[in-house]
Amino acid sequence: MDICKIPENASKCSGNTMECFMVLSTQAQKISIATLCGIFGTLCIFENSLVLYLIFSSPRTRKKPSYLFISSLALADILASIIFVCSFVNFHVFNGAGFSKESFLLQLGGVNTSFSASLSSLLLTALDRYISISRPSEYKLLMTRKRAWTALGVLWATCATIASLPLLGWNCCTLDSTCSELFPFVDESYLSGWVCFSLVLLGCIVYAYAHVLWRARQHVAYMEQHQAQLGKQNTRMRMDVMLAKTLAMVLAVLVLCWSPVLVLMIYSIFARLSDPLRKVFAFCSTLCLLNSMVNPIIYALRSKELNSSLRRVFSRFRRQLKASEESPEAESTHRSSVVET
């Protein structure tokens, strides 16, 4: 049976799977997708690599749990960009349908792991800010580097396990079950579970940040009333408020970029998608890359520590560039003086 008829008689799987999901019909659509993926993916890799360099090149930032979670987010975005762009462009632009079910599900698992880890890293960052601003006196005792690394290990292991389930057998070919209209070989019940998992993560993040921003607003009011009495505590509270607002901006971008994709996934579970909607889903998928690209820009603009580290890197680069430009001139002058002698 042809997989193209799965929405109506969705219990079979055949070798025609891949072609039925290649929804970009014109050259203009393929060029547009390739351009978006190329621009977003390249910038995302460069920016997040720079964030990782800034964090781990500074002894002060790499020891803080907050920046360990941000590092996890940056790493997840880098991996998502590489795997997503390569597999997505190969599939939709070059119509790469020659690989097996296992290789496709392996690529899809890599994309799911990376994007799930990105979302989960943001949740850990939200919880970190929640503890920092709600229990500041106990923060260093509660949020140690060992606990932060343990949380990150559990996070990545959980995301990798959930993402590998289709490859391990939870797919519509192995189970002879209903297939998704959006992804080849993916069981519809698995897609429902992954969407629920993502929505639960988003709900927890929103709840944590709602509390963080409420406490941040209280801190601002408190600082305005006790400006002279706070001293060092005032500075720390201001940094907590600033970081909370920064990560709230990250959350806002996350929701805006992921909402279209999640809405279409949910819609596909309950109703049949038309070809135009499947094309819209393909273009909306690139918004996930846009989200990964925007996050480090927000860090660089809003985090004073990363901002100062970035300025130091640029300053050092300018000095090296200036020295390299002056060096040939000095060498040329030296040689001419030797010749004259």
Domain definitions of the chain by residue range: 25-305
* Residue 217 near residue 49 (C-beta atoms within 8 A): no
Instruction: Give whole-number Cα distances, 136 to 66, 129, 130, 240, 263, in Å.
Output: 14, 10, 10, 9, 38
Alpha carbon distance 320, 75 (integer Å): 28
The reported pLDDT for the residue numbered 125 is: 86
pLDDT computed for residue 21 by the predictor: 76
Ramachandran category for residue 185: left, alpha or beta (phi over 0 → left; psi -120 to 50 → alpha): left
Q: Beta partners for 187?
A: 179
Quote the CA–CA distance of 261 and 257 in Å, as a whole number.
8
Tell me if residue 143 falls in helix, strand or coil: coil
Burial of 333 (C-beta count, 10 Å sphere; 0-12/13-18/19+): exposed
For position 112, what pLDDT does the model report? 92
Q: Where are the alpha helices (DSSP H) in the chain?
A: 17-20, 27-56, 59-62, 65-92, 101-134, 139-142, 145-168, 172-175, 188-225, 227-230, 232-270, 275-302, 304-340
Domain 25-305, CATH class in plain words: mainly alpha
Q: Residue 301: its pLDDT value, please?
A: 66
Residue 4 pLDDT: 40
Q: What is the pTM of this model?
A: 0.81
Which positions of the chain have pLDDT values less than 70?
Answer: 1-18, 95-99, 219-244, 247, 300-301, 327-341
Under a CB-based contact definition with an 8 Å cutoff, are residues 145 and 68 in contact? Answer: yes
CA proximity to 78, closest of 118, 126, 38 = 118
Q: Residue 6: what pLDDT?
A: 47
Neighbouring CB atoms inside 10 A of 223's CB total 16
pLDDT at 278: 87
pLDDT at 165: 93
